[in-house]
A and B are shown apart, each in its own frame.
Chain A
């Protein structure tokens, strides 16, 4: 199974500041035949199911604000929120869909400083 490891576990950022969450996979999730990274990011607010934010490592899902961006390739990825808003308080998960079983990171809890 591909192990997904996120850092940090907890992150406190001031409103309007940048937040960056990292995700590392135990093996590459870059598929050479199409040069796509099979990596997604989800946001989970308290008491709600996860919500898809980004797929192909950097493509925003429809309706996701452009302050959310994804980057990285191969085994190292990042989710960046350019200017933190109060409604962004949540736990964020990365997930690989390169192979079965699909696996998630342990999550990063993002709070307001």
Chain B
């Protein structure tokens, strides 16, 4: 069974930092492309960042230079380092697996909540 379990969310002041983690199991993590997708309260999902199986990365414009996605294939884990956090970064952050054959998000974790507030 594919499982994705996020952790690391919490309450942080504007300008602060958080590091999110996603523990993957039930599939060969190293061969899959992974993503972070966030969802602000009452809004639709919003893609944030992508990392390929080889480590290539892509970011949403509004997080470039502030967020860093990474992976540790030996630990079957995905990370998102978030610096210079803004109020508008407040959301539930999901890790999501890209399908093997189709570029959709075929499995999602339960999410971790990030609240940026003073």
Q: Contact: A106 with B44, CB < 8 Å?
A: yes
The minimal Cβ–Cβ distance linking A112 to chain B, given in whole angstroms, is 21
How many residues in A have their beta carbons less than 8 Å from beta carbons of B? 22
User: Scoring B residues 46 to 76 as 1 if CB is less than 8 Å from chain A, else 0, what string do you get?
Assistant: 1100100000001011000000000000000
Interface size class of B (residues with CB under 8 A): 20 to 34
A68 at the A/B interface (Cβ < 8 Å)? no
The minimal Cβ–Cβ distance linking B36 to chain A, given in whole angstroms, is 12
Q: How far is the CA of A48 from the CA of B110 in the complex (A)?
A: 6
Q: Which residues of B contact A (CB under 8 A)?
A: 43-47, 50, 58, 60-61, 94, 96, 99, 102-106, 108-111
16 new A-B contacts, CB < 8 A, other than A38-B103, A55-B104, A61-B106, are: A42-B105, A49-B94, A49-B110, A50-B45, A50-B108, A52-B104, A52-B106, A55-B102, A56-B102, A95-B105, A101-B61, A102-B103, A104-B47, A106-B43, A106-B44, A107-B44
